[in-house]
Structure 1
Amino acid sequence: ELSSCVFKIASVSFRTGLQATFCCRKRSDFLQFNNQKNLAKFRGPGPDYYLKNYEDDIVRSDIALDKQNGCKVANHPDIMLELQREKAASTQLVLLKEQLSNIYSNITITARSLDKLYNFVDCAGLHLIFGINALHRNPDNSWNTSSILSLLKYSAGKKYNISWELGNEPNAYRSMVGRAVNSTQLAQDYTKLRTLLQSVRYYHRAHLYGPNAGRPRKNAILLLDGFMKNAGSVVDAVTWQHYYMDGRVNKVEDFLKTRLLDTLAEQITKVTKVVNTHTPGKKVWLGGLGPAWAGGINNLSDTYAAGFLWVNTLGMAAVQGIDVVLRHSFFDYGYTHLVDQHFNPLPDYWFSLVFKRLVGPRVLAVRVAGLQRKPQPGRVIRDKLRIYAHCTSYDNHNYVRGAITIYIINLHRSRKKIKLAGTLRDKTVHQYLLQPYGTDGLRAKHVQLNGEKLLMVDNEFPELRPKTLRAGRTIAMPPMTIGFYVIKNMNANACRR
């Protein structure tokens, strides 16, 4: 049944900026650096070479390390790819077992592993933020820096452009390892790390982020408050994490609750209030974001349904002045991955790709006639139609500066119509409508763009082809879908700068 209500997007105006990126840092507090190319004994080539040395070769495989030849995909036998997948699957089981038992083992990253990681990041055009182990501590509970200086010197010698962060959810250390680190000690640790960075010439101006506190409940807020009081000036941006729901949830309907989506705004308010009390104007980053804690939810956190939380997070964070959001994760335990066990993109990966291709950092305020209703006494109106607007990304050469990208989340169970009004009315619109693909509905792990299934082709992204809507045409949003709409040739003043 078609909805009779037509929403008019009446105006847009400049606000702030946003970037999205991805992270995996759960085990950073058990990581040690060893300045060796490889810890395993080299056995030499032979008939079972790839079986005996696959861990070493995985490190060297996908991205060619010879930068003189540029970034290229290395060619290896099919057995190597299968071994990579087997290793990824077995590692995930180990990580999940550790999470469930709450008993964690130390892991070592070698110089070669760091080389591989950095070359991947560099070739992908990303920036590496390295999470340093904060749980390597002396008997007096002070931070032990014995392996950190070696890591810094090695990275500096390679001229690796890296930013740094110390620890992961320090407010949860007591429950995880039975040892607490209070705000005063954490502030001293960050001050010490800043001093170490300044002692290595290449990193004396490197960026440092923290304290990466957990969800802003009582303990996390108290830790953040004490940290900002004692070391707020040490970090370049304040980081914290947000999870929407309990990992035991198993209903797709829970991902559609507007009350759940709105919890992020409440958490942002708590964090920014503490930060501005001690260091007004300090940047605040959402340093970790997942649909659910405890590893996420099987067949939900990695499906189309989770996209409502992810895309709404990007829009809401931008409006609230958060200009960087990091999402869990490419690879980790649990079910919040961006790729499956065969390294094929899952729905949130495709949402992220479309977002990065179309959405620029300049955020626009949206006025929607017919959407905001007057609440009844004692009742909060929570909109099931979420509309956000940005200047179109300047990196997208299909659109000239001045174009506007609007992205819409329709949580209604009926189709909604949106009519562009005012100066937007007579402009051609490119539609990028993302819907679940297949018979699983919102639990789908595949996405279609304008009716066409999105798939990697020969390790290349498919062309993201828009559907052109003629000027003046009403945008029709199917029920429970997400769409991006580029208003071409808008020549908006805020988007020409």
Structure 2
Amino acid sequence: MAEGVPAVMCRSSLALCLLLCALPSSVEARARRRTTPGPGRLVHRVDPNFVSVTIDASLAEDETFMRMLSSPKVRVLAKALSPAFVRFGGTRQDFTEFQPQRKLPAGKPRGSQPKLLTGRWEEQLMAQWRKQQRRLAREDASGKYRQVKFTESTLDELHAFANASGLDLVFGLNALLRNADNSWNASNARALLRYCEERRYRVSWELGNEPNSFEKKAGLRVSGEQLGRDFTRLREMMSESPWHRRARLYGPDVGQPRGRTPDLLDGFLRSGADAIDACTWHHYYVNGRDTSLDDFLDPKVLDSLALKTKQVIKEVKRVSPGKPVWLGETSSAYGGGAAGLSDTFAAGFMWLDKLGTAATGGVSVVMRQVLIGSGAYHLLDERLDPLPDFWLTLIHKRVVGRGVLSAATFSAQTRSGRVRLYLHCAAAPRYREGAVTLIAINLDETAADVGVPRRLASGNVDAFVLRSDRRGRDGLVSRRVTLNGVAVTMSGLTLPELVGRRTAASERVALPAFSLAFFVFTDARCRACAD
């Protein structure tokens, strides 16, 4: 965990956890904006786009598949996750090259809007995509990637999708285009930036994906210092354009700290920190090819993120104090995810715990791999229907606010580390000022009771309890989820209401076996959440 931030994995009574924000009921307290100082404190404030998503650059290998972003269903689902960033990148971004096909007209016209997919064409495209995914999986397994040319239509589709969905587009540039002296060759990026300027496309930028693995993927080694100079060159190039001058630049998108990654990150920050608006790194828990359900439920596996986060935060603070830190790409298992796990209810344990750990540890944005693209860790299935992690993400968006509160570890009626709690301010304006949201995760096969302090027992609580549609351990690999016992489904292009179960607060809340829950204490009046 970040220094000074206690772990929120609990064998837990909720009493002290919520006592951080509990209120005296005196008239004097109500007069002070109806809040009280309490013993708690705000340990971090995440970005408004804290939970964000990615689109894998593999879609551009055949630009036909970029048309999936013109699906009305995809746009409705993406818009529900707004505000958020949508990052277009990944391994294949460093094997792509912009190849303009159209002569730009004089002046600065708006780009054409791609037509929305109709139902029949959407079905045919998705059938083709399933075949394409199998080809991409074979390419991933071989570790050999073909060079791909993409045209203006990729940018047009991305911009139209982001604009219609209310998402902020981040585009990953190819960092493997190199000059003889191993410096970055910026000519292709310049052409791409010029096209975006002509079309008036608002885009933020990245340069390269996991440079620590360039040697393995392409036989090319780039030092951190050189990478920092490459980013500085890109920033200078952006500054030459009135249109791109205020655009954001993020990087270096290194893998998690191990091997030469820490040295690469240190060198990059020393030479390029001033060029970036946030420092990005990637994290996955396990290898998707040899993992198991036990890994997805293992507290020790989940605990590994806290240590990695602390290492990165410490390094960034040492070299570039105040620089925001983002998880620029992350999911459960690397290598495309674990089929039958990363796309089921079981994935939610890693995903929700990652959101809690990252926020508590000082990370400002978490980009989920992937909204749509190749692999098994996507939020939408092969029919573009929401998977369990989509619903989990959507509820998090609706009830969890930016303020991250300190919390402590307690005992619960379950095995050590298998009930995990995180405390946030509740999302505004849905909830009144001072409300708090408890995120609760039960990795255990038995239910747990979590205690509530008396001062909160007289208020109200909204409970959002997510479980698989099938009970027991075997049900964890289901692709269906229930909210408070009711199946969650989408009807046409209409999302369900996702309303919590409101009850009078009592001295205990029940946390069922193998469940993911949000408990919103609407009357907490926590002073740390009053701003």
Aligned to 1:21: 52
State the alpha-carbon separation in 2 of the partners of residues 80 and 240 from structure 1.
37
- 1:479 aligned to 2:513? yes
RMSD: 2.3
Deviations 1:372-421 (A, max 9, x none): 99xxxxxxx9521111111111143xx22222111100112211011210
State the alpha-carbon separation in 1 of the partners of residues 314 and 296 from structure 2.
28
Amino acid of the residue matched to residue 93 of structure 1?
R
Q: Contact 1:7–1:417 at 8 Å: present in 2 too?
A: no
Out of 82, 85, 97, which is 1:32 matched to?
97
Q: Give the Å deviation of 1:200.
A: 1.3
Deviations 1:254-301 (A, max 9, x none): 111111111011101111222122112211111111211111111011
State the alpha-carbon separation in 1 of the partners of residues 319 and 13 from structure 2.
45
- Change in CA separation of 1:473 and 1:457 when aligned onto 2, cut-off 3 Å: farther
Superposition pairs for residues 69-468 of structure 1, below 5 Å? Answer: 76=118, 78-367=119-408, 369-370=410-411, 383-396=417-430, 399-438=431-470, 440-468=474-502
The percentage of aligned residue pairs carrying the same residue is 36
Aligned to 2:66: none
Q: Secondary structure at the match of 1:233?
A: helix
State the alpha-carbon separation in 2 of the partners of residues 372 and 192 from structure 1.
56
- Change in CA separation of 1:344 and 1:416 when aligned onto 2, cut-off 3 Å: same
Q: Contact 2:13–2:452 at 8 Å: present in 1 too?
A: no
Amino acid of the residue matched to residue 518 of structure 2?
F
State the alpha-carbon separation in 2 of the partners of residues 304 and 353 from structure 1.
14
Q: Secondary structure at the match of 1:362?
A: strand
Q: Contact 1:417–1:474 at 8 Å: present in 2 too?
A: yes
Q: Contact 1:211–1:240 at 8 Å: present in 2 too?
A: yes
Superposition pairs for residues 48-87 of structure 1, below 5 Å? Answer: 60-62=114-116, 76=118, 78-87=119-128
Q: Contact 1:7–1:370 at 8 Å: present in 2 too?
A: no
Q: Secondary structure at the match of 2:243?
A: helix
Q: Secondary structure at the match of 1:296?
A: coil
Q: Give the Å deviation of 1:448.
A: 0.8
Deviations 1:79-112 (A, max 9, x none): 2111221232233223212111111122233223
Q: Secondary structure at the match of 1:482?
A: strand
State the alpha-carbon separation in 2 of the partners of residues 327 and 90 from structure 1.
24
Q: Contact 1:10–1:369 at 8 Å: present in 2 too?
A: no
Deviations 1:169-197 (A, max 9, x none): 00101111111112122112111111111
Q: Give the Å deviation of 1:120.
A: 1.0
Amino acid of the residue matched to residue 284 of structure 1?
V
Q: Contact 1:10–1:367 at 8 Å: present in 2 too?
A: no
Q: Contact 1:17–1:322 at 8 Å: present in 2 too?
A: no
Q: Give the Å deviation of 1:441.
A: 0.8
User: How many matched pairs?
Assistant: 453
- Show structure 2 runs of 5+ residues with no match: 1-10, 21-39, 57-88, 104-111
TM-score normalised to structure 1 length:
0.86
State the alpha-carbon separation in 1 of the partners of residues 453 and 229 from structure 2.
55
Q: Secondary structure at the match of 1:329?
A: strand
When structure 1 is superposed on structure 2, of 12-21 and 444-453 the one drifting more is 12-21
Q: Contact 1:252–1:305 at 8 Å: present in 2 too?
A: yes
- Change in CA separation of 1:418 and 1:363 when aligned onto 2, cut-off 3 Å: same
Q: Secondary structure at the match of 2:44?
A: coil
State the alpha-carbon separation in 1 of the partners of residues 437 and 13 from structure 2.
20
Q: Contact 1:10–1:368 at 8 Å: present in 2 too?
A: no
Q: Contact 1:95–1:332 at 8 Å: present in 2 too?
A: no
**Highest RCO, 1 vs 2 (Cα 8 Å, sep ≥ 6):** 2
Q: Secondary structure at the match of 1:15?
A: strand
TM-score normalised to structure 2 length:
0.81
- 1:493 aligned to 2:527? yes
Deviations 1:469-490 (A, max 9, x none): 2222521111111101111133
State the alpha-carbon separation in 2 of the partners of residues 229 and 155 from structure 1.
30
Q: Contact 1:392–1:402 at 8 Å: present in 2 too?
A: yes
- Change in CA separation of 1:10 and 1:184 when aligned onto 2, cut-off 3 Å: closer
Q: Contact 2:254–2:281 at 8 Å: present in 1 too?
A: yes
State the alpha-carbon separation in 1 of the partners of residues 416 and 321 from structure 2.
30
Q: Contact 2:412–2:449 at 8 Å: present in 1 too?
A: no
State the alpha-carbon separation in 2 of the partners of residues 437 and 314 from structure 1.
23
Q: Secondary structure at the match of 2:45?
A: coil
Q: Secondary structure at the match of 2:260?
A: helix
Q: Contact 1:135–1:167 at 8 Å: present in 2 too?
A: yes
State the alpha-carbon separation in 1 of the partners of residues 228 and 454 from structure 2.
52
When structure 1 is superposed on structure 2, of 417-426 and 449-458 the one drifting more is 417-426
State the alpha-carbon separation in 1 of the partners of residues 434 and 426 from structure 2.
8
Amino acid of the residue matched to residue 240 of structure 1?
W
